[in-house]
Structures are given as C-alpha cells and as structure tokens.
Structure 1
Amino acid sequence: MSMSTTWDDLVTTALLGTDRRPASPGALLDEAALRTVQRRAALLPDAPRPLPEAAPEDVRPPLPEAARRRLALLLAERAAGPGGSGRRGGGPDLTELLPQWLAAANDHGYRAPADLLPGLLDAARARSDLRPGALALGGPRALWLARLNPQWRYALRDAPASRATPAVTDTGEGVEQLWQEGLFAERVALLTSLRRRDPAAARELLATTWDRERAEDRLMFLDSLRDGLSLADEPFLEGALTDRGRTVRATAAELLSALPASALAARMAERAKACVALDRTAGRPTVVVEAPHECDAGMRRDGVVAKPPAGRGERSWWLGQLVEATPLGIWCERLGVAGAAEAVALPVADGWRPDLHAAWCRAAVRQEDAEWSRALLGPAASPPEPTGASWLDPAKLLSALPPAERAGWVAEFIAAHGLSEAFRLLGVCAVPWAEPLGRAVVDALDTAREAGGYPWSFSGVMGMAERCLDPDQADLLEALTVLPAGPGDGDAGHGAAGYWAEAYQRLIGTLRLRATMRRELTDGS
C-alpha cells in the first residue's frame, strides 16, 4: 500500500482477496483504518512533512501550583465569553483581573505553563491590551508556537524584547536573511527587538531596504524608531521628510519635533517666533499672534498639513502645527518670563488663547515636559475653564508628570469636583492607586451614596476601583457595607442603600481576591 492508494482500491482488494492483490491482510486493515479516519475528517491524503524543530528552552522558574490553577481559571473565564460564567451577581469579574495578574506574574519572572500557552495566545489575540503581558509570560515558546499557527502571527510583531524573548538570532547573517526573506510580522519583530538592543544597528538595517518597502510598511517600520529616539536618527528622518508617502512624511516630522535639538525643531521655532510675540505697549504685557498667511513648500516639507479639517480655519490650523512642533524651551526668552507658569498666565490678544494653549498642550505631551504640563493643568481645585476648554486635555498632560504627582493632582481634582469628570483622569494613574487617590475615590463614592444616588451611575468608577484600589484597603471598606437603620431600611436589600451595600461587597470581594492572587504568586518565590 502507498499514499496513492485510494478508498476504491482498498474496497477492490478486500473484495478480490489479498491473494489476488499484492497486500497482506494486516497492511490492508491498517490502511483501511487510516483512510476511514481521513474520510471522516474530510481530509485528502498528503505526503508527510518534516516535524518542526524542537521548542526552545525557557529557563525561567515555573508558576507556583496555586498560581498555575489561577491562570487556568482566568483563561477559562475569558474563553467562556459573554454567554459563559462572566460576572455572577456580587462576584468579581475575573476577565478584568487577567491583565493585572499577568503584570504581577511577569514581575516575578515566571514562565507560562506549556499546556496553557494556546489559551494565553488566544486571549491575547482577542484583546490587544493583554499582548505585552501575555507574550512576556509566554516567552520564546509562545513565539515558537506563533510561527506554527497563522492566527497567532500577531505575536511575532508585538513580542517584547526581554530575557524571555531573546533575539531571533545572534548572527549578522541570520539577521540579514530574516530581514530580507521573513514575513512582515517577523521583520517588524526583528526590527523592534534590534532597536531596543542596538538602536544604530536597527536604523542601519532599515536603511538597507527602505526605498523598496511599501508605504504602509515604511510607516510601521518608521514607528519602531520611537524607542530609543535620539539625534543619531536625525539624518535618516530628515531623508524621510521627502518620502513619497504622506503619512510617512508626517511621522518623520513628528519624530524630529520630539528632538528639541533637531534642525526641524529649529526651523519650526523660527516660524513660530515670527507668529507669536509679546506686546508691552498696552500697559499689561500681552501675547500677540499673527498666524501664517500661507503654507509654503518648506512648511509642507517639515510636516505641516496644508488642508485643515472641516470647521477649522486655515491660519489657526497652520499656527497650531508650528507651535506644537516648536521646542517649549524657547518661549520663556521669547515672552520675557522666568518659567512656564508665567508664560501660561499671560493674556493673549484677539481670542488666540485657545489655539496657542492647545498647541502648547500638544507640545508638552510630545516633548514629555513636566513643567509645562503642570503649568497648563493649573491647580486641581480651580474651577474648570468657563468655555469648557475643549482644547485642554488633562489626561494627556498628566501623563507627563511623575506618578506620585499625577495621583495627587487627580485626588485633589476629585475632592473639589467629584467623580463625574474624573474617569479618564483615573485611567492614567499608576496601579495600585496611591493612598490619597484611593481615599479620594472612596470618599467621593460615599458622598454620592449619602446624597441618595445609585451605584450604577458610577459603574465605570466602581469597576476601575475593583482593579486599581490597593487590596490592603479591603478591611477599611467593611463599614460601608452596613445598611443604615432608619425608616424604610429595615428590609435589607431595598432602596439605594441596599444597592450600595451590594456594590461595596463586590468591591471588597474583588480586592480580597486580588490579595489572594498576589499571595499565590509569592508562595513559590
């Protein structure tokens, strides 16, 4: 019997007898069994392929047994989906605890169990926010599996460069071959890993094929230069300013503007200074603005987009792009002030303040300038801008502040203004929340309860508190689950007070579960 033998051949041999066909009874039965399985699986016979090379070793320590069971439970809960177990009444939402669990496991340097790698890769495929943690825990074996299953190809692109995911190869020839012949996801992974280890080598590798790459691929490759960006990248990025792809040109200009000492930043500064000045003739020093009257070829080459979005004036659009790309350090001298706070406090003539301050905000975020971010945010307890300040994005500005200062600012904001405007601000604070921030959130929730509100009006904040409050705060919240004695409250579970008690019980239960998960991860340390 051979791979060319068909089912009809087997039937004919069985009918005629093995003495009239060259086959032994045992071989006939074996072949029939194989073909039966193939027919039931709707598979055609295929030539055998060589086995893949063995999975690489992962020398990191395994998870403690309790933590391993916990991971299996979290993955099973995720796989169950909306129709599965999900949130049960007052129980914790386990799927929302998976990112935090992964971060904690990676902090301990554990490796994922081999039998749970497929579930881990499936989870990260479905939720991009899980990918960094899942791929770090999966390590080199997760990447080995990803090369065998097209559904997991994302891992080759998103894998972090760390001791768990070493470089694809340490030889120059191997790097060059993979860069020239690899799949796109593999090439992105290679460039990202190499950039983190040797920024110059990654840039030089990219330059070897830059002119032959597709525009969308050039954009992805160019984005990898954000990691380890320095003035050494300036010549390459200056060349990309004349790229045939508009988005590639814009990204190159953005990267150069994040380097205050770059030639592009200097060109933008000269243009911006020609538009913004200080007028001392009107009694009180006032910032005056004369926005550009045209978007010339030099501005377009440096990344200024000529056509504004709908509803936006051309001149204000051009001005914003110039100021956004200008190093913030030039403004104190230009405006004759000692620091960012004084510059922000200056009045701006002719209604240009929102445009100018919006551009300063974007520049502060891009340049990660804490002083300017602090000045533009202002005191947390101050009332919001009377116009609604659509140009002000506190969440982005907060990202430029140190974590402790960030948490303190948001705590003061909540104490002064409540929770209705604080959801996005909480999202940029480090987890677990520092004690002043956690206390401010709990106090604001308790104030809402005493005012007669219902917990589902704050469901987003409650869900975030379950994930972000320090687990050690669980015992301190016990008092909030006690129903007050009074008319109409004798029947526990009725009225707003009962709903709040249930919400706090779920919060406490989740915090205690997080504390248990933390202990499970340390049992084997």
Structure 2
Amino acid sequence: MNGTSSTDATGTPTPAAPASATSPPSPTAPSPWEDLVTTALLGTDRRPAAYGRSGREAPLALLDEAAMATVRRRAGLRPARAARRPEPAPEDPRPALPTAAARRLATLLTDRSGGGSGGRRGSSPDLMELLPQWLAAANAHGYAAPPQALPALLDAARGRTDLRPAALAFAGPRALWLARLNGDWRFALRAAPGGGATLPDPGDAEAVRRLWQEGLFAERAALLGALRAGTPAPARELLASTWATERAEDRLMFLDSLRTGLSAADEPFLEQALGDRSRNVRATAAELLSALPASALATRMAVRAAACVALDRTQSAPAIAVEPPLECDSGMERDGVVGTPPAGRGERSWWLGQLVESAPLGTWPGRLGGRTARDIVALPVTDGWQGELHAAWCRAAVRQRDARWSRALLGSPSAPEAGGPGAVSLADRAKLLAALEPAERADWVAGFIAAHGLSEAFQLLGVCAVPWAAPLGRSVVDALNIARDAGSYPWSFSGVMGLAERCLDPAQAVRLEGLLAMPDEREDAAPGAGGYWAEAFQRLMTTLRLRAQMTEELAPAIIERPSGGAPREGE
C-alpha cells in the first residue's frame, strides 16, 4: 500500500517508499530541469541540500545532474520525419579566381581594421570600401566566386544594399541556391528577376503566354523585362493583350519597363495609355512619349511651348520674351501636364516648365532666329523668367540626353559661381554632365575644381567615370594640396578624400609622395590639422598602391606553352 510499510521475502518489514518516488509530480511542481536551472541561477550555496549528498562539492554535483538530465531529455525526443534533401548546388561554369585574388577577397570580407564609425581613421586603408571596386573588377574578368566565400559575401551584401548588384552577379547561381536555404539571405531572391524563378525561353511562345497569364506579379514583371531587353515588340504586344484587366499599380510598373528599347514603334500603345484612368500611368506615358522627339505628343508640346516663348523684338538688343499659359486645359492634362502646382509655386510658371521640358529641344533654333543652343542660352530673358525657362531646358536636356544643350547650359567651368547660364544648382549640373562623354565630363569637372576648389565638387565628382582621368586626378590632388597649405579644416574634405581613395587612378600614387611629410602648421590653422592631413595622404597613397596590387592579382596569368608556342591564359 502506498505510504505504509510492507514485508520482504523473509517477512522483515521494509519502510514505505517516499510518495514523490512513486507518484507523478503535481501539475504545479517545477520539472527537474527547471529545478536545476533555478539552483544554477540562485547558486548552490543558497540551495546546498539538493545536490550536496553525493559526497562531492555541490557545484560539481549540480553539473553532473545537469549532464544526466540533458541526456535524458535528448533521449526522450521522438525522431522527426526526415526532411527532403536539397537539390545539389548548380554548377558555375565561370573560371576560378586566381589564388592571390581569392586570398584578397577573404581579407576584404573579414578585415575591418581600416574603417571607423567616427573620429580619425588613421593611415590604414578601409578594406571594406575597396570591396565594391574589387567586385566590379572580378565581374569584368568573368570569374566565379569561391564556394567557401559565398556565406561571407552574402552577409556583406545583406548589410550593404550598394554591394548587392555586384555581389550577387559575382556569387552567381549558387547565391540563389543558398538563399533558399537561409532566411537571412532572402534578399538575393528578391533582387533576382522573378524572385529567383526560372523564366521560360523567349522562343517558347506557349510557356511565355502561360507565365504571363498565370504567374505572380514578380514573375510577370521579370518576364516582361527580359523580353523587352531582347525583343521589344513581342514584349509590348504581350502587355497590350492584358492591359485592360491589369490593376493600376501593375500597369504603372509594367509601363515603366518600356523605357528599355523605347522607340517610335511604342508610340501607338503609349498614346492609348494617355487616356488611362490612372493619373500616374498617364504621366509616365507622357514622359516616355516626350523622350521620342518625333512623337505626336512631342509635336503638340512643341506647339504649346513655342506659343509661350519667342524673341522680343521691342528691344534694341535680342532677348527672349516669355508669356506662360493662362490655363491648363483638358488636352494639356491628357498629355501629362499636372494642373495643380506644389505649394509655393505659381500655376502659370508650373505649367510653363512642364511644357518646355516636354518639348523637343530641336524646336528652339527655328523658333528663336536660327540660333544655336549656346547662342539661345546666352540671350537675356525678360521679366525675370530666365531661371524658370533655363531650369526647364535643363530637364529637357537630361531627359533627351542632348549633349549640345547640356554643354550650352553648363557653360564654362570657370564662369562666376560656376553655374553656367542655365544650371541653377549642383544637382542640375551633375545631371547635365551625365549627358556628356566621360572624357569631356572629366575635363569639365577638372576645370571646375581648378577654378573653384573642392568645396562644391563632391556631387560633380560622383558622376565621373572611375578611375578618374589623369587631368581630373591631378586637379583633385592639387586642390587637396592647396587646401592643406592654406590651413583649411581637413575634416571638411574627408568626403573628397574617401572618393579619391576609391576613384583616383593608382598611377597618381607617385604624386603623393611629396605630401606625406607633416606640414608646417599656420597660426590660423585648425589644431591638429597637420597630423590629420599627413595621415590622410598616407592612407590615400597606401590605398592606391593596394588597388594597383588588387588589379594585378585579378589579371589572368599568362603561361608559356612547353613547346615555346604562343602564350595562353593560365589554366
């Protein structure tokens, strides 16, 4: 009987077993594992009796009991159903990295000694800032990522969105394979066309039609983009086949894909989209049509804009007279003109700007006496309309990627305030520069820096091709040297220094050797500026030499044939 004595085989009474040994624990009593955890948290000196009876010290006894409890808990787990084994990782047919380049990649992905979240950085290169350039060079050579580097590469791309395009291109198909197995890397699937889904062959009309009609939005958008890049006409026809049944937000996204391969053949479809019930869709269709100078919409906009801008023949010297529209009629709204201006803008100036920026730039020479773009921009504009008119011409030049008008609106880089006659802000100048060839762009920015220094050059440097052309690189280094000698605050040039580390041609490193010494500090210089400048130039030179070494490591090795024949790339 429970709780009473009993007799053994000889009839000798035996004591009853404790109730806790035979009865299940009460629902409110803690489990043995919870009791162990509680004792560990409180300390065995506060609960010594429970684990001190074995003759061993209480802490050791507690650890022994915890070890046994762990084994019991694991043994009590029921085996789960075996999960489906993942498919093998896809093959990457690209050539493997050279050994030295693979070691460099591992260093760039793990070493953070050069970076810093604040304060002085010292003279060591910031290796993480060199990773984007390394990836671009590796992708240009067509190398495959080492399999063992993929986790660290994906972790780096997860933390920095600017790395993702180059990192995923370098990681190749195995990045998507890994992303399906690790939720931390799901961004790779979102960045891939169609969320990583396999798109049908463009030649398989039935598979294309089925995916377009039945696929998810991401898959359909990826399909449309892929088709548009190769065969624009079938992509447009596919979109037209379901246009009337698409949601407004989907129509807007699909319409944006027509920017790729935009041509006069798209005009009928875009003209139809001008009547869409969504204002955003209408505006996007109008923007695309205005980028086609021969389109009917561009012609209509040219007529409207020309009615507002003409030569002023009442003055002795040539000038431009502006008479903005009196109203925004339904035809203008259908062609993408937004009737309600933002806060602080007048209605008529708002409408004028939209008309001029949508009109082909070829409208103006004939309208303004046969003058060239440079001559037109140099004309005075009456009644204070010059800023509005030139700003609209800037937007038109950027949209139409017209180098002649961009050049005219930029003006001379040494002009007062470096604004040129039409570039009203640094952002405008940067956009206009993007329409020029890289060499001309670099020359203009070099002239700007030579005339005005580096204080406003950061945004302009960002649109220049990398590595910077020699004249631009010399101009930057000379301007930094001048700023140092003038006792300028060095911290205000840290952004340009960072750009130089990434963009300056490594061949410019030899010009920095004379700038490494500690300069004589002027009385009006910032305290400690000399040491900062010396560190910054040392870091710049070290970084340039490291970049040169990285380039050499990525270059394919050339191996002579044993027979003395023609050399070939390393195997």
Query: Does the aligned pair in 2 maintain the 1:60–1:110 contact within 8 Å?
Result: yes
**Partner of residue 300 from structure 2, selected from 256, 267, 274:** 267
Task: Supply the distance in 2 between the matched residues of 1:149 and 1:87 (Cα, whole angstroms).
Answer: 37
Aligned to 1:396: 431
Task: Supply the distance in 2 between the matched residues of 1:419 and 1:505 (Cα, whole angstroms).
Answer: 20
Residue by residue over 1:26-52, the C-alpha shift from the partner in whole angstroms, topping out at 9 and shown as x without a partner, is xxxxxx99994997xxxx987555445
**Partner of residue 346 from structure 1, selected from 352, 374, 379:** 379
Residue by residue over 1:300-326, the C-alpha shift from the partner in whole angstroms, topping out at 9 and shown as x without a partner, is 111111111110000000000010011
Task: Supply the distance in 2 between the matched residues of 1:418 and 1:99 (Cα, whole angstroms).
Answer: 28
**Partner of residue 479 from structure 1, selected from 489, 514, 517:** 514
Aligned amino acid, residue 472 of structure 1 = A
Aligned amino acid, residue 168 of structure 1 = L
Higher RCO by CA contacts (8 Å cutoff, separation 6 or greater): 1
Aligned to 1:422: 457
**Partner of residue 90 from structure 2, selected from 42, 56, 69:** 56
Larger CA deviation: 290-299 vs 237-246? 237-246
Aligned amino acid, residue 248 of structure 2 = A
Aligned to 1:222: 255
Task: Supply the distance in 1 between the matched residues of 2:274 and 2:164 (Cα, whole angstroms).
Answer: 32
Aligned to 2:285: 252
RMSD of aligned alpha carbons: 3.3
Residue by residue over 1:332-386, the C-alpha shift from the partner in whole angstroms, topping out at 9 and shown as x without a partner, is 0011133100111111111111111000000000000000000000000111259
Aligned to 1:241: 274
Unaligned 5+ runs, structure 2: 1-69, 558-568
Give 3-state SS (helix, strand or coil) of 2:311's partner. Answer: strand
Task: Supply the distance in 1 between the matched residues of 2:404 and 2:153 (Cα, whole angstroms).
Answer: 41
Aligned to 1:189: 222
Unaligned 5+ runs, structure 1: 1-31, 489-493
Aligned amino acid, residue 356 of structure 2 = V
Query: Does the aligned pair in 1 maintain the 2:409–2:422 contact within 8 Å?
Result: no
Aligned to 2:13: none
Aligned to 2:481: 446
| Residue 285 (1) aligns with residue 285 (2) | no
Post-superposition offset of 1:150: 5.8
Aligned amino acid, residue 112 of structure 1 = A
Residue by residue over 1:124-146, the C-alpha shift from the partner in whole angstroms, topping out at 9 and shown as x without a partner, is 34333223212221223334444
Residue by residue over 1:382-406, the C-alpha shift from the partner in whole angstroms, topping out at 9 and shown as x without a partner, is 1125999646711111000100000
Aligned amino acid, residue 485 of structure 2 = E
Query: Does the aligned pair in 2 maintain the 1:156–1:189 contact within 8 Å?
Result: no
Aligned to 2:501: 466
**Partner of residue 200 from structure 2, selected from 149, 169, 172:** 169
Give 3-state SS (helix, strand or coil) of 2:225's partner. Answer: helix
Change (3 A) 1:123 1:299: farther
**Partner of residue 515 from structure 1, selected from 532, 548, 568:** 548
1:43-442 alignment to 2 at 5 Å? 48=82, 50-77=84-111, 89-146=122-179, 152=185, 154-156=187-189, 158-159=191-192, 168-170=199-201, 171-384=204-417, 390=424, 393-442=428-477
Post-superposition offset of 1:261: 1.2
TM-score, normalised relative to structure 2:
0.77
Give 3-state SS (helix, strand or coil) of 2:340's partner. Answer: coil
* Percent identity of equivalent pairs: 69
Query: Does the aligned pair in 2 maintain the 1:56–1:141 contact within 8 Å?
Result: yes
Change (3 A) 1:387 1:269: closer
TM-score, normalised relative to structure 1:
0.83
Aligned amino acid, residue 429 of structure 1 = C
Task: Supply the distance in 2 between the matched residues of 1:307 and 1:38 (Cα, whole angstroms).
Answer: 71
Give 3-state SS (helix, strand or coil) of 2:307's partner. Answer: helix
Give 3-state SS (helix, strand or coil) of 1:474's partner. Answer: helix
Change (3 A) 1:487 1:146: closer
Post-superposition offset of 1:281: 3.0
Task: Supply the distance in 1 between the matched residues of 2:451 and 2:110 (Cα, whole angstroms).
Answer: 42
Give 3-state SS (helix, strand or coil) of 1:112's partner. Answer: coil
Post-superposition offset of 1:439: 0.5
Task: Supply the distance in 2 between the matched residues of 1:432 and 1:160 (Cα, whole angstroms).
Answer: 30
Which consecutive aligned stretches of 4+ in structure 1 deviate over 6 angstroms post-superposition?
32-35, 78-83, 386-389, 485-488
Larger CA deviation: 463-472 vs 380-389? 380-389
Task: Supply the distance in 2 between the matched residues of 1:378 and 1:316 (Cα, whole angstroms).
Answer: 24
Aligned amino acid, residue 500 of structure 1 = W
Task: Supply the distance in 2 between the matched residues of 1:125 and 1:359 (Cα, whole angstroms).
Answer: 39
Give 3-state SS (helix, strand or coil) of 2:515's partner. Answer: helix
Larger CA deviation: 135-144 vs 456-465? 135-144
Aligned amino acid, residue 288 of structure 1 = A
Task: Supply the distance in 1 between the matched residues of 2:495 and 2:167 (Cα, whole angstroms).
Answer: 25
Query: Does the aligned pair in 2 maintain the 1:106–1:137 contact within 8 Å?
Result: yes
Change (3 A) 1:79 1:244: farther
Which one has the largest radius of gyration?
A: 2
Larger CA deviation: 433-442 vs 454-463? 454-463
Give 3-state SS (helix, strand or coil) of 1:260's partner. Answer: coil
Aligned amino acid, residue 211 of structure 1 = A
Task: Supply the distance in 2 between the matched residues of 1:485 and 1:287 (Cα, whole angstroms).
Answer: 55
Give 3-state SS (helix, strand or coil) of 1:328's partner. Answer: coil
Residue by residue over 1:255-306, the C-alpha shift from the partner in whole angstroms, topping out at 9 and shown as x without a partner, is 1111111111111111111111112232222211111111111111111111
Residue by residue over 1:196-226, the C-alpha shift from the partner in whole angstroms, topping out at 9 and shown as x without a partner, is 1222222223333333333333322222221
Task: Supply the distance in 1 between the matched residues of 2:456 and 2:487 (Cα, whole angstroms).
Answer: 19
Larger CA deviation: 189-198 vs 505-514? 189-198
Larger CA deviation: 120-129 vs 353-362? 120-129
Query: Does the aligned pair in 2 maintain the 1:77–1:86 contact within 8 Å?
Result: no
Query: Does the aligned pair in 2 maintain the 1:146–1:156 contact within 8 Å?
Result: yes
Aligned amino acid, residue 68 of structure 1 = A
Aligned amino acid, residue 288 of structure 2 = L
Aligned amino acid, residue 307 of structure 1 = T
Residue by residue over 1:154-180, the C-alpha shift from the partner in whole angstroms, topping out at 9 and shown as x without a partner, is 54564489xxx9973313333334334
Give 3-state SS (helix, strand or coil) of 1:288's partner. Answer: strand
Task: Supply the distance in 2 between the matched residues of 1:438 and 1:458 (Cα, whole angstroms).
Answer: 15
Aligned amino acid, residue 129 of structure 2 = E
Query: Does the aligned pair in 2 maintain the 1:79–1:123 contact within 8 Å?
Result: no
Task: Supply the distance in 2 between the matched residues of 1:81 and 1:502 (Cα, whole angstroms).
Answer: 14
Task: Supply the distance in 2 between the matched residues of 1:516 and 1:495 (Cα, whole angstroms).
Answer: 32
Task: Supply the distance in 2 between the matched residues of 1:176 and 1:182 (Cα, whole angstroms).
Answer: 10
Post-superposition offset of 1:242: 2.2
Task: Supply the distance in 2 between the matched residues of 1:117 and 1:86 (Cα, whole angstroms).
Answer: 32
Aligned to 1:23: none
